[in-house]
Structure 1
Amino acid sequence: MEEKLIVKNLIKIFGQNPDKDLQMMRKGFSKEEILKETNQTVAINNVNFTVKQGELFVLMGLSGSGKSTILRCLNRLIEPTSGEIFIDGTDINKLNAKEIRKFRQEKMAMVFQQFSLLPHRTILSNIAYGLEVQKVPRKERERKAQEYIKLVGLCGWENKYPHELSGGMKQRVGLARALTNGSDILLMDEAFSALDPLIREEMQCELITLQQKLKKTIVFITHDLNEALKLGDRIAFLRDGKLIQVGTPKEMLTNPADDYIKKFLHSVDKSNFLTIKDIMKTPSFVFGLNDEIKLALEKMKQRNINNVFIEDQNGKFEGILTSEQACEAYNKGITKISMIKLVRCPTITENIFVKNSIGEFIESESIAAVVNNSQKLVGSVFSRDIISALINEQGGGKDG
Structure 2
Amino acid sequence: MAVLEFKSVDLIFGRAWQEALCLVDEGAGREAVLEKTGAVVGVHDANLAIEEGEICVLMGLSGSGKSSLLRCINGLNPITRGELLIDDGGHRIDIASCDAATLRRLRTDRIAMVFQQFALMPWRTVAENVGFGLELKGVSKVERTARVAEKLDLVGLSQWRDKYAHELSGGMQQRVGLARAFATDGDILLMDEPFSALDPLIRQHLQDELMELQQRLKKTIVFVSHDLDEAMKIGSHIAIMESGRIVQYGRPEEIALNPANDYVARFVAHMNPMNVLRGGSLMTPLAALAETGGALRLGAGGRVALRLSADRRPERLTLAGETVTLRHWDGSGEGGAAAWRDSVVAASADITMGEAILIRHMSGNPVLLVEDGQMIGVVGDEEIYRGLLRQTGKSEGGRRDANRMGDNRDG
| TM-score bucket of the superposed structures, by smaller chain | 0.7 to 0.9
Alpha-carbon distance, 1:120 to partner: 1.1
Alpha-carbon distance, 1:31 to partner: 1.5
Q: Does the 8 A contact of 1:280 with 1:397 survive in 2?
A: no
Higher mean Cα deviation, 93-102 or 162-171?
93-102
TM-score in terms of structure 1 length: 0.84
State the Cα deviation string for residues 131-184 of structure 1 (Å, max 9, x = none).
111110001011011111111111211111111110000000000100010101
State the Cα deviation string for residues 328-355 of structure 1 (Å, max 9, x = none).
xxxxxxxxxxxx9799872242343323
In structure 2, what residue type is equivalent to 1:8?
K
Q: Does the 8 A contact of 1:84 with 1:93 survive in 2?
A: yes
Q: Does the 8 A contact of 1:56 with 1:220 survive in 2?
A: yes
Counterpart among 162, 166, 171 of residue 169 in structure 2: 166
Secondary structure of 1:94's partner?
coil
Does residue 236 in structure 1 map to residue 233 in structure 2?
Answer: no
The 1-side partners of 2:49 and 2:93 are apart by 14
Q: Does the 8 A contact of 1:310 with 1:320 survive in 2?
A: yes
State the Cα deviation string for residues 350-389 of structure 1 (Å, max 9, x = none).
34332343353469996442236x7653322232211332
Q: Aligned pairs, how many? A: 367
Secondary structure of 1:3's partner?
coil
1:113 corresponding residue in structure 2:
116
The 2-side partners of 1:75 and 1:203 are apart by 24
1:33 corresponding residue in structure 2:
32
Q: Does the 8 A contact of 1:317 with 1:371 survive in 2?
A: no
The 2-side partners of 1:239 and 1:285 are apart by 39
Q: Does the 8 A contact of 1:72 with 1:78 survive in 2?
A: yes
Does residue 283 in structure 1 map to residue 286 in structure 2?
Answer: yes
1:395 corresponding residue in structure 2:
392
The 2-side partners of 1:244 and 1:180 are apart by 35
Higher mean Cα deviation, 235-244 or 23-32?
23-32
In structure 2, what residue type is equivalent to 1:383?
D
2:334 corresponding residue in structure 1:
none
Q: Does the 8 A contact of 1:279 with 1:397 survive in 2?
A: no
2:5 corresponding residue in structure 1:
6
Q: Does the 8 A contact of 2:9 with 2:82 survive in 1?
A: yes
Q: Does the 8 A contact of 1:310 with 1:317 survive in 2?
A: yes
In structure 1, what residue type is equivalent to 2:382?
R
Does residue 258 in structure 1 map to residue 256 in structure 2?
Answer: no
When residues 160 and 363 of structure 1 are mapped into structure 2, their CA distance, relative to the original with a 3 A threshold, is closer
In structure 2, what residue type is equivalent to 1:317?
P
1:79 corresponding residue in structure 2:
78
Counterpart among 196, 200, 204 of residue 199 in structure 2: 196
1:370 corresponding residue in structure 2:
369
| Structure 2: runs of 5+ lacking an equivalent | 298-303, 327-342, 396-411
Secondary structure of 1:142's partner?
helix
Counterpart among 196, 203, 208 of residue 205 in structure 1: 208
Q: Does the 8 A contact of 1:15 with 1:41 survive in 2?
A: yes
Q: Does the 8 A contact of 1:365 with 1:384 survive in 2?
A: no
The 2-side partners of 1:343 and 1:74 are apart by 53
Q: Give the structure with higher Rg (CA).
A: 1
In structure 2, what residue type is equivalent to 1:241?
G
2:101 corresponding residue in structure 1:
98
Secondary structure of 1:349's partner?
strand
Q: Percent identity?
A: 39
